[in-house]
Structure 1
Amino acid sequence: MKQYIFNIHDVVLLMTAAECLLLAVFQSILPTRARHDGRLLTAFLLIIATASGCTLLLWNDQFSLAPWFEQTLLPYLLFAALLLKGPAIYLYVCSLTQQKLALNRRQALHLLPALLVLMCIAIFGISSSDLRHVPDTGQTLPATAIEFIWDLASLVPFIYAIAALLQIRRYRHALKDEYSHYSEVELHWLFSLAWGVCISWTWTMLVHVVAKFSSDIVADYMGIADNYLTFILINAFFAYSLTYAHQLLVTQPKEETRETTSEEEPSEPAIAKVRTAMEEDRIYLKKNLNLEQFSDRIDLPAKEVSAVINKHFGTNFFEYVNSYRVEAAKTLLSDPEKADMTVLDVLLESGFNSKSAFHRFFSRLVGMSPTEFRKQALAAQSQADTQ
């Protein structure tokens, strides 16, 4: 009679580990980029491969491994991977959303949860049998130590997933402080992936909690679903890395663009320079204008220009520039002599370079679409001329 080593759920774990290894090799041979995102994604894939492989070895009793590996080394590898996947995905998101991500001693603090658990395993001599809750007659082990490391293994990744979402949110605010135009597509996909990770690791934490108060069968099926979610997310992250990651705009470090030297209002000369550039020089007509270009044009530091826009005008760079563009578009749309211009011509001449962004921003500020505004403006002008 044949004896099967794997069931279908074990195959998913095996496929996840194998695919992560292959994708990590493929990622490592891609052309090197200036940022660290490629290396961090490779590290994340290797960590997930280790976690999936160790999970398979821990719970599949059909394998016969060397005792030193199965009982002693396996817990170290498993929990190192489980506690490093959170920092890896968080740092990967940071590398995508920051121009300069320094992998220095400060970043080494993210290793502390993993080091704490590894120390706990060493101190209490935790083996694979202990992790499976199989009694070991030759050893007395505090049950709280095992519960502690399993709790951390489910909680720490969830915390890092939340931190990744907050980092993307900060990135969106930074984009609005530094750019007059940016694509939402790449950002929406990154948000979706981060939410996927958050949901997956929330599910992992829920499985851990349910396992304490429910039957083993329920916990097993929930854990199996978790493995399938991981497999899907790995493919999604690699696809995103190839398709969209390199298209994200970089933002300056916070201290360079948003830090102000004091809490006082910006100086009047600085305010006058910003206003003159917009109202007289009409610098907003330059497509893809960003804060650095703006500050170079008026010979002011970027952080001072940012302070003027944020503190004096009470808005961000994105809103400030595009409000002038909308006013320019309104002037063109309401001019009878420009009636032959298409809406596309109007938005391009006003400084916009995206039809969807123009319609979205115009409708929000004016309360109607550009076509409807033109129709009403020209009708009012025609009525005024006949009177």
Structure 2
Amino acid sequence: MHLFFAKKGNKLLNVLLSLIFFSRFGQIVTIVLATSGQSNFLSVAFLAFTPLYYAAPACFYLYISCIIDDRTELKKLQWLHFIPALLAIIHVTPWPTATEIDWNSITRHLAAKGYFSLKVRSGLFPSSFHYILRPLLVLSYLTLAWFKLLRSKTAESKNPDQSQRFWILFFLRTATFFQTLSLVPAFLTMLHIPYTLTSFVIVNCLALLAIILYTLHKPNIFYGHLLVAVDWKKKPEPLIRLTEDTGKQHEIRYIEKEENEKPLSKPGKKVKIPANQLAEYSFSMKKLMEEAELYLLHDFQIIDLAAKLDIPVHHCSYIINNHIGKNFRDWINGYRVNYFLKQYPIKGDKITIEAIANESGFKSLATFYNAFKKEKGAMPSHYLNQEESRKLLNK
């Protein structure tokens, strides 16, 4: 639902991917209803989701293809891929002259042999429309997707957009595994080889658990794809990587080039603020920052602060530089670092440092490391280790 109605990102890709998940959801609901013997509800779910089952393989191929080709809309000929879905709509439509469907029999077959092994008539067309055409579509479009990837530059390791390549490979491999595994019972049935459906369910669950554990350690794999609110195409600012030797430990230190800020007031312009008003402005600025937590906003600028307080921008700049003793960037980053240190003991074992830094208002991990070093005089891991050691000694 998030993908289907998302306003950010590539709308075509969002819709194609959401249709794939809707289809998978429908398939799971259908099997659950079948195994629980709910033939009445099964008939509704089966008729509603069947067109999606026949559209999903095409959506899968078109999704991979449009990412690689960087397309935001389908070509006219690409709409022909949805002909099987149109046939499926005709198939499940309750025509007056159509043969009555035995939903009890369909329920028993689905519960016993799985989705792709259904050989009972389920609509206008013969049962082969389901147990032959559907697996054929899955295998054909999986093959086309891999062929499309291998022919493209995205498959090359030297491709500059590694996040896109990594997502495509992850998505394609995962889909290939689960789709192939779901087809195995159908092939075993054709070869008259005995099997238990429970064993395939267990393998599916274990594989899904492994994927969840993997993505918990690499949540950024979803940025711009499943989590489309993140602009994954935005290029990071230039970084310099230095190795900082801390004895037995080696830590990577990220130093980010400071943004060139335009002077807020003309050179030589004198700012005259009475002493009592200077103290009042300074107090108001600190109070607003602490109570409203404006530093958590990634794009918060000094002009926004001035607008909140209804004072001139150059007065804000003068107070921060001369009365507080920092420039605006260092001042706001100090609040962000302190917020990070409050959140880390609470969330450090649940989410990554990068995620907590992002919640604290930092746009990038590089900005966070640079600000933390400037504020605390040490890199985050070294500082946190020192704090932990100090707490243990005090105990």
* TM-score when normalising by structure 2: 0.43
Higher strand share: 2
Q: TM-score, structure 1 length as denominator?
A: 0.44
